[in-house]
A and B are shown apart, each in its own frame.
Chain A
Amino acid sequence: MKKNPFSLLGKVVLVTGASSGIGEQTAISCSKMGATMIIAGRSQENLDATLSRMEGQGHRAITGDLTVAEDLRRLADAVGEVDGVVHCAGVRGLSPIRMVSEKFMREVFAINYDAPILLTQRLLFRNLIRARGAIVFLSSTAAHLGVHGVGIYSATKAALRATTRCLALEQAKRGIRVNCLSPDLVETRLLRVDPQVAGPNEWLEEQRKRHPLGLGEPEDVANAIVYLLSDASRWMTGQTIVMDGGVTF
């Protein structure tokens, strides 16, 4: 086989939210594709667990809460130059709009929108994302369609999509690509302990039935991220890839 255009060999990639779920799998898959990883998350213990499942040498873990300005600054200072940034940190935030408090709304926005944008800003401002690098934001199909109870969450995810397009234009000159992924329901460990899922798991069963190809696996999202980080997608920017197992409603 000739040189694999999907290889991440020689690339340094920062991934947030690497303690669990999609972020954790992204760290693992990218390392298996040859990248040197910097993984960020709030829990050292969880990051260590992720590190133990990664392949290759030279990976680093940095702990911190990205909604805390000081932590964000510390992360940006410690990162160094990277070829890719993947923003996986996020919360689902379930609440019907009539029950939403301002505090809740600000928290969900702080984690899902403010943190990834401010981190990206800081890295770009200090020229830490190399030319022909790639930035990937995690949106959601909830940003494309109406779902009960996630009015604020879907707004944060739609905001990421919108900013993706603007940032793609701003960074094209340096060949830095900015893309977004909109997965539907992915079966992470977190999902199984979600309060909505606790109990008889009727909701989860119903969700599985809705998706002709089943629910997503963290690997599915991680593989799409590998594609968006690799040179295979060097001409793709400003886009959102929808991945939903064929769900129609």
Chain B
Amino acid sequence: MSFNPFSLAGMSVLVTGASSGIGRQTAISCADMGARVIITGRDAVRLEETRGRLEGDGHVAVAADLTDAEGLARVVDVAGVVDGVAHCAGISMIAPFRMVSEKAIDAVFKTNFHAPVLLTQRLLAKRQIANGGSIVFISSTTAHIGTIATSMYAASKGALFPAARALGLELATKQKIRVNCISPGYVNTPLLDGINNGAASIEQNYDLAPLGLGEPEDVANAVVFLMAGASKWITRSTLIIDGGLTVPISIS
């Protein structure tokens, strides 16, 4: 099929958190759709594994910790000018509000909010996001719902919405760079396994979504849509992709 407004051919896309879960599948799906991807993640071995699964040539892997200034600078150096950035790196944190430590708040905000924001800031400062490009932040339905023991995780993900809205406006007029968020529900990933170990009963939550548990592909395809020319008029939006989880819930 020649007509394909969802093609990413000719585009370079930087994907964080690409060593597992949604980030890994996002890298694979973007490459499948023709993009050259620059992947980053903390685990060099698993990152290399992801790289081995990428279609096409020219892909680059950079093992780095984005919460570390040196790691962040290295990713910016290696990335070069990109057309898209998919911020998939994230950590979960399960703790009742009254048990949350300052250290834990710092850790979850550093990875889920500061790192993607600073990476974007650095790329923009060095004009490394091409005009007409697309930035996608992976948030979470938890940020809309606010469930038990997720207060700080939800807050770190929820902080991305207004940041993305403001950034989207700053970048729209001249650079035509689009900024959007995706809020996935419960997706079959290692991060979810981590949550499971924290609280066994969370498994019941999967049944809450009318369409069941999601697969990383479901989120990765939404990222492809938001990267592609097909979505060139969509900015400052949030796509909730959750199998219907939040449909019967009053959310903001």
Chain A residues with CB under 8 Å of chain B are: 1-2, 4-7, 9, 29, 32-34, 55, 165, 168-169, 172-173, 175, 177, 183, 212-214, 216-217, 219-220, 223-224, 226-227, 232-239, 241-246, 248
Interface of B is mostly: loop
Among B72-80, B122-130, B149-157, B169-177, the one that faces the other chain is: B169-177
Give 25 CB contacts A-B under 8 Å. A1-B7, A1-B34, A6-B4, A6-B225, A6-B230, A33-B1, A165-B248, A168-B210, A168-B244, A168-B247, A212-B169, A213-B172, A214-B233, A220-B232, A220-B233, A223-B5, A223-B230, A224-B231, A233-B218, A235-B215, A235-B241, A235-B243, A236-B243, A242-B234, A245-B172
Q: Contact at B6–A245, with CB atoms within 8 Å?
A: no
Q: Contact at B244–A172, with CB atoms within 8 Å?
A: yes
Contacts of A212 in B (CB 8 A): 169, 172-173, 235
Choose one: B34, B173, B217, B231; the contact of A223 (CB below 8 Å).
Answer: B231
A63 to B183 Cα, complex, angstroms? 40
Contacts of B210 in A (CB 8 A): 168-169, 172-173, 237
- Report the interface size for chain B: residues with CB under 8 A from the other chain: 45
Residue of A nearest to B230 (CB): A223
Given A227-B225, A232-B224, A233-B222, A213 and B178 contact (CB-CB distance below 8 Å) = yes
Choose one: A9, A33, A169; the contact of B248 (CB below 8 Å).
Answer: A169
Choose one: A4, A227, A241, A242; the contact of B1 (CB below 8 Å).
Answer: A4
Q: Contact at A236–B233, with CB atoms within 8 Å?
A: no
Taken residue by residue from 45 to 62, chain B's Cβ proximity to chain A (1 for < 8 Å, 0 otherwise) reads as 000000000010000000
Tell me the smallest distance from the CB of A25 to a CB of chain B, in Å. Answer: 12
B237 proximal to A (CB < 8 A): yes
A235 to B173 Cα, complex, angstroms? 33
Q: Contact at A5–B232, with CB atoms within 8 Å?
A: no
Taken residue by residue from 204 to 222, chain B's Cβ proximity to chain A (1 for < 8 Å, 0 otherwise) reads as 0000001100110110011
Contacts of A245 in B (CB 8 A): 172, 233, 235
Tell me the smallest distance from the CB of A49 to a CB of chain B, in Å. Answer: 20
Contacts of A6 in B (CB 8 A): 4, 6, 221, 224-225, 230
Contacts of A243 in B (CB 8 A): 231, 233-234, 237
Choose one: A55, A177, A224; the contact of B230 (CB below 8 Å).
Answer: A224
Q: Contact at A1–B55, with CB atoms within 8 Å?
A: yes
Residue of A nearest to B219 (CB): A235
Contacts of A223 in B (CB 8 A): 5-6, 229-231
B240 proximal to A (CB < 8 A): yes
Tell me the smallest distance from the CB of A96 to a CB of chain B, in Å. Answer: 29
Contacts of A213 in B (CB 8 A): 172, 176, 178, 232-233, 235
Contacts of A173 in B (CB 8 A): 210
Q: Contact at A236–B32, with CB atoms within 8 Å?
A: no
Task: Known A-B contacts: A1-B55, A6-B224. Give 5 more (CB < 8 A).
Answer: A6-B6, A168-B210, A223-B229, A226-B6, A245-B172
Contacts of B42 in A (CB 8 A): none
